[in-house]
Structure 1
Amino acid sequence: MHHRHRHRQVLAPAALLASLALLLTACGGNSSASTGTGTGTDGSGAVTLNVGDQKGGSEAILRAAGELKNLDYRIKWSTFTSGPPLLEAVNAKAVDIGGVGNTPPVFAAGAGSAITVVAAWHGTSKGDTILVPNGSKLTRPAQLKGKSIAVAQGSSAHYQLVANLKAAGLSFDDVKVKYLQPADALAAFTSGKVDAWAVWDPYTSQVLQTKRGRVLTTGDGITNGLSFQVAAPSALKDPKKTAVIKDYLARLRRATAWVHGHQEEWAKVWAKDTGLPYDVALASVKRTHSTRVGVAVDKPLVASEQQIADTFTELKLIPRKVDFGDFVDSRFNGDLPPSTTPARS
């Protein structure tokens, strides 16, 4: 197929940006586009669930897995560029529920937003990386001292960078951080304007598949690998909405599990939905997407997120102490395994 041809590997950064600009994924940082765009409605019935989504996210995975059939309620979809604006919409009650990575809820909680984590998935952190250009002399994280690193502010990569520096005996002040959204960071990285880039999949896969850089270190064993569905507290006070949310989460868990056994099929859908080359999508699915397991919102999860919150409070990037336990609801756990369950291999 044409997307496997070698010419994919010599695309100029500008050509990559068109597809990557769409992909400020669940882990994404702050974005100027704080509004969602409507993408239609599924199902029928008296109750409408307003779902916040990201490109190649919940809607795509549910549709691919056949989980949007026989809905006796409506799902109205809104697409956001990244996690923080999606959570702003949850706080504003414009969205009932939506999916984000492990760090945006911490920043939203720090801002006193009305948000509640209602479901979680645990996957590997192997797609969360610090990348360096091919010609870089850096071989281990400790050598990042004094170097410039691109990262999206408030993203999962932001915490991954802090945690990896700490593990290497460095502080956040030991490096020159450049806050850049992924599209801008990719341009800076490929033109040599930064020494390293802290990022997540599919950007990791994009850089590796196009042979534009290599992995200095990953988040494996460093970050918690969690992603969440976050609901509006007002929706959870409505019994009809709550019943619908329970059904929606069950469908999403089945769809996520479906990916593990249908990796090529999902990669095709995901590539089409995001504009990514198929080989990049498949690499990202294998490294990250297919490893996710639905887990309980439990005490270890709260403790792990509390660690992220405390880290950003210490760095004065969150203005106050956050009690993350105040921002979770465990009523949808059912018989799910604990949050510490290993990711799928």
Structure 2
Amino acid sequence: MRRHTLPLLAALVPLSLALSACGGNSAADTGAAGQEGKDGKGTAVTLNVGDQKGGNESLLRAAGELDKLDYTIKWSTFTSGPPLLEAVNAKAVDIGGVGNTPPVFAAAAKSKIAVVAATHGSSAGEAILVPKGSALQNPAELRGKKIAVAQGSSAHFQLIASLEQAGLKPADVTVNFLQPADALAAFNSGAVDAWAVWDPYTSQVLRTGARVLVSGEGVVNGLGFQVAAPAALEDPAKSKAIGDYLTRLQRAQDWVFAHPEEWAKVWAKETGLPYEVAFDAVKRSNGTRVPVAVDDAAVVSEQKIADTFTELKLIPGKVVFKDFVDTRFNGALPPSTTAPRSYGKAS
């Protein structure tokens, strides 16, 4: 980041640095407290879990869901979904959480992945943002403009879908593929006209006077996924641990909704976000998630994303998303179309 951008970015730097400091192969090595289970052969069961800064490890710990485990969790931290899924494909990670678009790109790359769980949340945090003072008033005015977005992210599809709704194609704009830290600098320096991104970046930048040109509400499906390595699912001990992990994660998501202020404090500490920004993001999107089944409706919705990227030649060939889904953990979960939780309008 250039020095002349520092005054404007002062409140934004902590989260960017925290995320950019976590390389795709970096392991946190924070084995969760709890008893180690045995897999019947006298060896400890270790579940390798991929995470992002301030993600599921922080959530589970805050909710008290890392207590009394009968297996060990080894956490590895990643900057975003795509490198996390590369680790799942390489069997370095047994399971990890990502947004709605990374599994499509991983499937297109013929990665060995299995989508095993889902959540449905508000898409208000998925947004195309414009800086304070921008003359842009609606998405149709993006023609000829420069837009930053992380390639293969959930925001990537939201950008494409929003342009389509406005009668535009990706070729009508200049897309700059930038990871959040670089996109943030470009956005605030004026190097791009808009930024397609997700929470907590959305809530963070809105606090500086930026505004939402268009959000993902009514545009994207609001789904997030837990993605496992097929080899881990084939191991009875690891499959059992994955089922328990998903149940704990569901309870932790319920805890967030019941304790939004407490979770915002933890999240702020973990990420370096100001508390006010963290609480905005909890209300806008982070705390709205409902555990749902990976059902036919979810598959159809994800297939639309895959077909869109195929038509644009951004992924090679046809992806059959249902071939990468494992429904063994669906149980009695509600349908993927279940309405997200709501705290009302975020500030």
Match of 1:149, SS state, is: strand
Partner of 1:244: 241
Partner of 2:316: 319
Is the CA contact 1:102–1:228 (under 8 Å) kept in the aligned structure 2?
yes
**Cα distance in 1 for residues equivalent to 2:22 and 2:58:** 24
Is the CA contact 1:64–1:269 (under 8 Å) kept in the aligned structure 2?
yes
**Cα distance in 1 for residues equivalent to 2:84 and 2:178:** 19
Q: Deviations over 1:189-237 (max 9, x none)?
A: 11111111111101111111122x1110100010000001100000111
**Cα distance in 1 for residues equivalent to 2:189 and 2:108:** 35
Match of 1:40, SS state, is: coil
Partner of 2:325: 328
Match of 2:28, SS state, is: strand
Is the CA contact 2:14–2:271 (under 8 Å) kept in the aligned structure 1?
no
Partner of 1:137: 135
Structure 1 residues 191 and 127: alpha-carbon distance in aligned structure 2, compared to 1, 3 A threshold:
same
TM (normalized to structure 2)? Answer: 0.92
Answering whether residue 36 of structure 2 is matched by residue 38 of structure 1, we say no
Partner of 2:76: 78
Partner of 2:3: none
Partner of 2:148: 150
TM (normalized to structure 1)? Answer: 0.93
Structure 1 residues 288 and 243: alpha-carbon distance in aligned structure 2, compared to 1, 3 A threshold:
same
Q: Deviations over 1:240-293 (max 9, x none)?
A: 111111111000000011101111100010011111111111111110111100
Is the CA contact 1:62–1:251 (under 8 Å) kept in the aligned structure 2?
yes
Answering whether residue 183 of structure 2 is matched by residue 191 of structure 1, we say no
Partner of 2:345: none
* Residues 31-110 of structure 1 mapped to structure 2, 5 A cutoff: 33-42=23-32, 43=34, 44-45=36-37, 46-110=44-108
Is the CA contact 1:128–1:218 (under 8 Å) kept in the aligned structure 2?
yes
Partner of 1:22: 18
Structure 1 residues 214 and 97: alpha-carbon distance in aligned structure 2, compared to 1, 3 A threshold:
same
**Cα distance in 2 for residues equivalent to 1:156 and 1:21:** 21
Determine what percentage of the aligned residue pairs are the same residue. Answer: 69
Partner of 1:343: 340
> Structure 1 stretches of 5 or more lacking a match?
1-9, 25-30
Partner of 2:40: none
Is the CA contact 2:94–2:232 (under 8 Å) kept in the aligned structure 1?
yes
* Residues 235-314 of structure 1 mapped to structure 2, 5 A cutoff: 235-314=232-311
Q: 10-19 vs 176-185, which deviates more?
A: 10-19
Is the CA contact 2:12–2:205 (under 8 Å) kept in the aligned structure 1?
no
Match of 2:330, SS state, is: coil
Pairing partner for 1:126 from 101, 124, 127: 124
Q: Deviations over 1:299-344 (max 9, x none)?
A: 1101111111111111111011100001000110110000011101
**Cα distance in 2 for residues equivalent to 1:34 and 1:79:** 7
Is the CA contact 2:22–2:78 (under 8 Å) kept in the aligned structure 1?
no
Match of 1:161, SS state, is: helix
Is the CA contact 1:22–1:81 (under 8 Å) kept in the aligned structure 2?
no
Computed over aligned residues only, the root mean square deviation of the Cα atoms, in angstroms, reads: 1.5
Partner of 1:27: none
Is the CA contact 1:253–1:294 (under 8 Å) kept in the aligned structure 2?
yes
Partner of 1:200: 198
> Structure 2 stretches of 5 or more lacking a match?
1-5, 38-43, 343-347
